[in-house]
């Protein structure tokens, strides 16, 4: 993607300011690099990446690019292992995040007359409060539920006539199933779902959308770069517009770090353009997507990325075959009678790797037949034959947070 002149000017000044901070994060990271020699996009692309490990090593506040009195809030990304990452925000950062989030709601067609039920978590985690700030900035009514307590969620949804549901895809699915089970669909006024922070397949999307009777929007973001709300899809398309006045976007080959041409799938790398508390240069998100070339028919000037295909670290290798969860979803989506939920278990038994795929199937499906069809489809698309075990609907766990579907039990 071509960097605009404005973006280049901002980035260059930002780098100069950052390396001038005594003992600052980038003063150390870019030590030995002549930043005055950065003359164009090509030079910028030679700068080293910033990775989550760098951020972790700066715990607690080593990332701060402003004096402590300018920091008004911190958030933290949940490291699955070891030290968490702490991201400091200034007053402007908090405001800028709300501006971006309000823009997301606008793109989703949310208006001040909407009532927005927010189910993502609050606290150190960036989700809930981001949804709320964006909603309030837009002027809609925020209903800050936070996660869990499905009975209360549904009661409030009915009593307050919530029109917009903000949730992870797995919690949206859980609520949709619960609404159907209780037969309360006619008391629900939802018209839109704003779904964040999880990669999800087309089949799941269709189920949530049809069971809840809502239009669905995918919101993108990560704690290290504000939080959710740095982009969303529009009414015209499923690809997400990224607010390029706040972030500069690159897609790189996760193995080599080389920039990939627009349209090719790789790792999303982000450079913040306006952040004060913790600006990031070429931050590796580990999210996989591609830049969607060309203009969107909605007329938006903001560039687009596709729905997140997966995480670079979700990739598993079994018998020499690389696979991503998104590919497994494609296999399941292609088979009639298979539902959207699955689990892939990888075990090491008697000296060899075994992949077992549990798939929820429709009640009237022929399980024996599906076993064969799914295994064949898997082999054709991914290059490996798993042991397929069809299970009944709702047999696999749903989660209020991110649902893990691939379990590598080999190590
Ligand atoms: Zn658009």
| Chain segment 195-219, per-residue pLDDT in tens | 985 667 778 888 899 999 999 999 9
Cross-strand bridge partners of residue 349: 352
Residue 105 CA to ligand 1 center (angstroms) comes to: 13
Whether the Cβ atoms of residue 26 and residue 18 lie closer than 8 Å to each other: yes
Each residue's pLDDT tens digit, 94-141: 999 999 999 999 999 999 999 999 999 999 988 899 999 999 999 999
CA gap 321, 319 in Å, rounded: 6
Residue 215 CA to ligand 1 center (angstroms) comes to: 15
Residue 287 CA to ligand 1 center (angstroms) comes to: 21
Residue 406 CA to ligand 1 center (angstroms) comes to: 32
Residue 279 CA to ligand 1 center (angstroms) comes to: 27
pLDDT over 60 at 155, yes or no: yes
Residue 89 CA to ligand 1 center (angstroms) comes to: 29
Residue 355 CA to ligand 1 center (angstroms) comes to: 39
Strand ranges in 172-243 using DSSP code E only, listed in sequence order: 192-196, 215-222, 227-233, 240-242
Question: Chain-wide mean pLDDT for the chain?
Answer: 93
**Which token pair is 69?**
């009195």
Residue 234 CA to ligand 1 center (angstroms) comes to: 5
Predicted structure pTM score: 0.83
Residue 301 CA to ligand 1 center (angstroms) comes to: 8
Average pLDDT over residues 148-156: 97
Average pLDDT over residues 7-16: 98
Alpha helices for 21-149 (secondary structure H): 25-29, 41-44, 52-57, 91-107, 127-138
Predicted local confidence at residue 390, as pLDDT: 96
Residue 356 CA to ligand 1 center (angstroms) comes to: 39
Residue 72 CA to ligand 1 center (angstroms) comes to: 34
């Amino acid at each position: 993607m071509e960097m605009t002149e404005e973006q280049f000017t901002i980035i260059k000044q930002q780098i100069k300011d950052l390396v001038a901070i005594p003992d600052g994060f980038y003063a150390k990271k870019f030590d030995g690099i002549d930043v005055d020699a950065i003359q164009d996009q090509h030079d910028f692309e030679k700068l080293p990446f910033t990775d989550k490990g760098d951020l972790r090593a700066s715990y607690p506040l080593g990332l701060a690019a402003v004096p402590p009195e300018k920091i008004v809030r911190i958030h933290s990304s949940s490291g699955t292992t070891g030290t968490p990452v702490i991201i400091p925000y200034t007053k402007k950062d908090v405001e800028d995040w709300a501006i971006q989030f309000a823009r997301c709601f606008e793109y989703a067609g949310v208006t001040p007359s909407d009532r927005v039920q927010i189910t993502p978590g609050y606290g150190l985690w960036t989700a809930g409060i981001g949804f709320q700030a964006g909603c309030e900035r837009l002027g809609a009514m925020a209903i800050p539920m936070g996660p869990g307590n499905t009975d209360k969620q549904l009661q409030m949804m009915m009593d307050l006539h919530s029109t917009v549901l903000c949730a992870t895809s797995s919690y949206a699915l859980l609520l949709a199933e619960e609404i159907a089970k209780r037969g309360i669909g006619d008391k629900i006024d939802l018209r839109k779902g704003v779904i964040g922070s999880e990669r999800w397949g087309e089949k799941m999307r269709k189920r949530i959308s049809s069971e809840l009777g809502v239009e669905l929007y995918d919101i993108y973001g990560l704690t290290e770069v504000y939080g959710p709300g740095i982009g969303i899809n529009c009414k015209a398309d499923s690809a997400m517009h990224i607010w390029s006045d706040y972030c500069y976007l690159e897609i790189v080959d996760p193995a080599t770090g080389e920039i990939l041409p627009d349209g090719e799938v790789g790792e999303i790398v982000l450079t913040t353009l306006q952040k004060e508390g913790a600006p990031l240069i070429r931050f590796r998100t580990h999210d996989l997507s591609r830049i969607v070339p060309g203009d969107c028919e909605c007329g938006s000037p903001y560039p687009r990325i596709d729905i997140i295909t997966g995480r670079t670290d979700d990739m598993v290798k079994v018998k020499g075959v690389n696979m991503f969860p998104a590919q497994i979803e494609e296999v399941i989506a292609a088979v009639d009678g298979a539902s959207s939920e699955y689990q892939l278990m990888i075990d090491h038994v008697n000296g060899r790797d075994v992949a077992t795929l549990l798939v929820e199937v429709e009640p009237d499906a022929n399980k024996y037949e599906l076993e064969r069809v799914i295994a064949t489809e898997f082999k054709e698309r991914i290059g490996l034959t798993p042991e397929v075990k069809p299970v009944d609907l709702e047999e696999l766990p749903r989660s209020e947070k991110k649902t893990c579907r691939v379990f590598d039990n080999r190590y």
